[in-house]
Structure 1
Amino acid sequence: MPEGDTVHLTAKRLRAALAGNELVRGELRHPRLVGHDLAGRTVLDVASVGKHLLTRFDDGRSLHSHLRLDGSWHLYRPGMPWQRPAHQARAVLETAERTAVGFLLHDLELLPTTEEDRLVGHLGPDLLDPAWNDDHAAEALRRFTARGESELGLVLLEQRVMAGVGNLYKTEVCFLLGLSPWTLVRDVPDPAAAITLSRDLLLRNADRPQQSTTGELARGRQHWVYERGGQRCRRCGTRIRTGKQGEGVYARATWWCPTCQPGPTRPH
């Protein structure tokens, strides 16, 4: 599932391409929305809230989309061939100069803009909210520390605590904090640092497709432990370990250095 910075960048690109322009084509091909035609509507804005995208129109409605595991939005010039099959397209928003195509969007809903909170109001503070301030940080900290009996790695992924962290940043935040992903939140020495670090990493990558936590952009040098199972830790040389964290549909792969990240390990 994409990280919050990927969704933020998607919103930024869609906003630049569509905002302020009238749609000459506005097809919604999702089974629940067939028959809705957005042609003639003007796009007012495209915003991201955590991992959710909201495209707002001048008739007081918003198109909500969530990329899930395999969804994406592509931008083309009108008439250009699409890079994915047409049968995968769930939304086509076209202006005189740009065409935005949403592929494999499993979650797609058209709703009054005034009711957006119905879909995103449950989320914790958005780590990439441009209006982020001390109140947002305090609320994220309150929600984070309230999960004291839960594992750090799982709480970082919980969008109801703070919105935007995915598996990549969960893994890297745990490494940079020097804590095992299975550390209980109550045992995290500086909970505020976990929130600050999560936000800093997302901000660092918010305006580019590359996601680096090491400060390097070269292939194979971008991450400390994420997807580096069996390789040597960049700090201590210990081999990075891989395991699963979470249960059922919430289980995610995680990577950690047993030397740099002391503490509880994967339950057997």
Structure 2
Amino acid sequence: MLKLTNVKKSFGGVLATNDLSIDFTPGSLSAIIGPNGAGKTTLFNLIAGRLRPDSGSIVFNNEEISGLPATEIVHKGIARAFQVASLFPSFSVQDSFEAAVLARHRKMNDIVRPFSQAESRDRAHHLMQMVGLESRARTLAKHLPHGEQKLLDIGLALALEPRLLLLDEPTAGMGPEERFQMIERVHELWEREQLTLIFIEHDMDIVFAHAQVIRVLYYGALLAEGTPAEIRNNQAVIDAYLGAGFEEEVA
């Protein structure tokens, strides 16, 4: 579904993405891990069109998307939820979803009018049910607890009807129990919606429990990729990122 070939991106003298080649298969659930500065967020920015690669190719569904505007990439079927939730803070949960539904259908001019369209209202209700926020329909986004703001952000990405969903640290800033509730919800959405899903995560318990494939970035390059069992036993990954004693910690 998504194929990156020899992708490079530098900022001044810093090579953020170093000749990166990765192939994501349709319907897969993959994790991107690596130390700070490894190029994880840069990778997402390149896929989502927020950055243009200096060289290389990014192909989605057999179509070159390198350098396309972010809005065009969204309409081709790629959506993203951010580490810090990107919301309409003064909108209610329902109005936020209705705005996203209208945007998906290129009806941005309708957003300035009251949300009365039955189609957008029905779709918004369905999305609220999907992410478990139906009881918060009239709550302003800025008044939601942190975890529910993250759910709203994921729901807004789903409103764009993506085939590929990018989640940038979906459990960031949450306590242990809340983190696992969030990733269980994400896992359910992935299965139900039959998405291809890629997530960045620093919680290794979550990564090794849920990802089908793990890819490890290190100084902008792909250090390793494989199943959780393969990555757990990869000495180069242990030395560069996971550290000694990792196997006992996640056992």
TM-score by length of 1: 0.28
Larger radius of gyration: 1
TM-score by length of 2: 0.30
- Answer 1 or 2: which has greater helix percent: 2
